[in-house]
Amino acid sequence: MNTTSTPQDFDFFIGHWKVSHRRLKERLLGCDEWERFEGSCRMWPLLDGSGNIDDNVLELPSGTYRALSMRTFDPAKKQWAIWWVDGRNPHSLEPPVVGGFADGVGEFYCDDQLRGQPIRVRYRWTGTTTGSPHWQQAFSPDGGRTWEVNWEMDFERLA
pTM of the model: 0.93
Contact 5, 47 (CB under 8 A): no
What is the set of domains in the chain, with CATH numbers? 11-158 (2.40.128.20)
Work out the end-to-end distance of the chain between its first and last CA atoms, rounded to an integer number of angstroms.
35
- In tens, the pLDDT along 91-138 reads 888 889 999 999 889 999 999 999 999 999 999 999 999 889 999 999
Looking at residue 132, its amino acid is: S
